[in-house]
Amino acid sequence: MHPKEFKKTKNGTGHFTNLSLKNCEIHIGIDFSQNDTINEIINNPSNACYVLYPSAKSINLNESVIR
């Protein structure tokens, strides 16, 4: 979660996502490329990791089946 979103009210998308998804974790920062914890989670083949960010190429999780 971007630090600016974390500092705002506790009803932003990151907080709602954390409440909605089982085993969800919030990590606050901007660049996680050197973060050992994050990279361990991403590189673990038993995890399915996704970036939740809207764009023109986003997958609508309500309409798509992933894995």
Task: Write a three-state SS string for 30-66.
Answer: CCCCCCHHHHHHHHCCCCCCCCCCCCCCCCCCCCCCC
Counting the structural domains of the chain, the total is 1
How high is the pLDDT of residue 66?
A: 56
Residue 59's pLDDT is: 76
Q: What is the pTM of this model?
A: 0.59
The mean predicted confidence, pLDDT, of the chain is 80
Domain that holds residue 31: 1-67
Largest CA distance in the chain: 34
Tens of pLDDT, residues 17-45? 888 888 788 888 889 899 999 999 999 99
